[in-house]
Homo-oligomer: A and B are copies of this chain.
Amino acid sequence: MDAFTYYNPTRIEFGREKENNIGSMIAEQGITRLLLVYGTGSIKKNGLYERIISSLKNAGITYEELDGVVSNPLLSRVHDGIDRVKSHDLQAVLGVGGGSVVDSAKAIAAGALYEGDVWDFFIQKASITEALPVYAVMTLAATASEMNGNSVVMNDATKQKYSISSVLVNPKISVINPELMMSVTPEYLAYSAADIIAHTIEVYFTATVHPHFQSRLVESIIKTVIETTEILLKDPLNYDARAEFAWASTQALNGLTNSGTGGGNFPNHMIEHALSALFNIAHGAGLSIVIPAWMKWYQGQNPAQFERFAKEVFGLGTANEGIAALESWFSSIGTPVTLAEADIPTERIAEIADNAHGLAVLWGMGTQYSSQTIATILKNA
């Protein structure tokens, strides 16, 4: 097992109606003025917005708002948020929504205390040394943004979808109320399932060492995601399945599963970031296209772990059977597994590969993942 640091100081408040106390939870930490970040309006339709506002007011917290955060969240909107924080001298950022909203909140929190352009952090021109406190109320389970320091943002000018990671932007408190996630569409539930599985198997397959304990944790998460997704597609209001799905999602990318593994890398995310940057498809949909294609290409580099995956997750005998089972399962829940299903023309593979290779270089995988290699992988899709 490799050496590691595990430090995750986020407090999770999990359960029904927990969001109704978000104001007092934040006020207890000495905050009186914050930026409220949310998406394109669903929280206004379902009443969540009113309850959050009411909770903030009851706790004596004033707020400015930043709405309109979209999937594959935009740097331009992050800039708007930073301007708002600075001009109103706000003390904290509260994101209410899914991963895009909370990722934007984190970027705003880091950028608000930095003199340069927040994009400097994403292109590794500068390191985050301080940030405003971040709080989150989740309406989607997928990214684990509620319990990590990751933020993925798209630079709308350059079409680069890049990320930062710092414990300084881990939410101080995150509310996970599975009931808030019940209105997610079947399509997005499937995309989320693909995303969660991707978070665990990237390191599961690419790590330099494979402690059995960590492999077991990953398999526990994947089996839970498969089981609860199937329940939820039939019975979207099943609270317990929604809750287990959400908590497994949180554990999938909060540092636990990759502790001691040497860290591995995230080639599927790397390739997918290019897909969604160029075609604006949902992140999870992009991942379910990339993952089987990548697995077919990569399996020979780690046959033992691919056999383990087939056996432990699906009860099957060979690596190929495990890959086929996952691909088939993705299809069965309605998330695409080919470029064609997402209307992405194969003629543009070279362009996607070049975009992804840029990220590969930034993430230290440039040698392993040349444009040509990425194109080879994508041809499997």
Show the binding face of A for B, using Cβ within 8 Å: 1-16, 18, 178, 209, 211-213, 216-217, 219-221, 223-224, 227, 239-240, 243-244, 247-248, 251, 256, 259-260
Contacts and interface: CB of A to CB of B under 8 A. Distances in A.
A212 B16 CA distance: 19
A256 B250 CA distance: 12
For the complex formed by this chain, how many copies does it contain in all? 2
A65 B251 CA distance: 39
Nearest to A245: B213
A304 to B, nearest CB: 15
A251 B214 CA distance: 11
A14 B259 contact: yes
Nearest to A7: B11
A144 to B, nearest CB: 13
Given A3-B16, A7-B10, 15 more contacts: A3-B14, A4-B15, A5-B11, A5-B12, A6-B11, A6-B12, A14-B260, A209-B240, A211-B243, A211-B244, A211-B247, A213-B220, A213-B224, A244-B260, A251-B256
Nearest to A217: B220
16 contacts: A1-B178, A1-B239, A3-B18, A6-B11, A7-B10, A7-B11, A209-B240, A211-B244, A212-B223, A212-B227, A213-B224, A216-B224, A219-B220, A244-B260, A247-B260, A256-B256
Given A4-B15, A220-B217, A259 B244 contact: no
Contacts of A15: 2-4
**A5, A6, A11, A259, most chain B CB atoms within 10 A:** A6
Given A213-B220, A213-B244, A5 B14 contact: yes
A256 B178 CA distance: 18
Given A4-B15, A11-B6, A247 B220 contact: no
The 9 closest A-B pairs by CB, nearest first: A3-B15, A216-B220, A1-B243, A7-B11, A9-B9, A6-B12, A213-B224, A213-B244, A211-B244
A204 to B, nearest CB: 14
A3 B209 CA distance: 35
A171 B112 CA distance: 31
A254 B256 CA distance: 12
Nearest to A215: B220
Contacts of A3: 14-16, 18
Given A6-B12, A14-B4, A211 B240 contact: yes
**A13, A178, A239, A247, most chain B CB atoms within 10 A:** A247
A11 B1 CA distance: 18
Contacts of A227: 212
A9 B209 CA distance: 26
B244 A212 contact: yes
Given A12-B7, A14-B6, A217-B220, A1 B259 contact: no
A251 to B, nearest CB: 8
A16 B1 CA distance: 10
A213 B14 contact: no
B240 A1 contact: yes
A372 to B, nearest CB: 37
Contacts of A8: 8
Contacts of A244: 1, 211-213, 260
A330 B117 CA distance: 60
A162 B13 CA distance: 28
**A14, A213, A220, most chain B CB atoms within 10 A:** A213
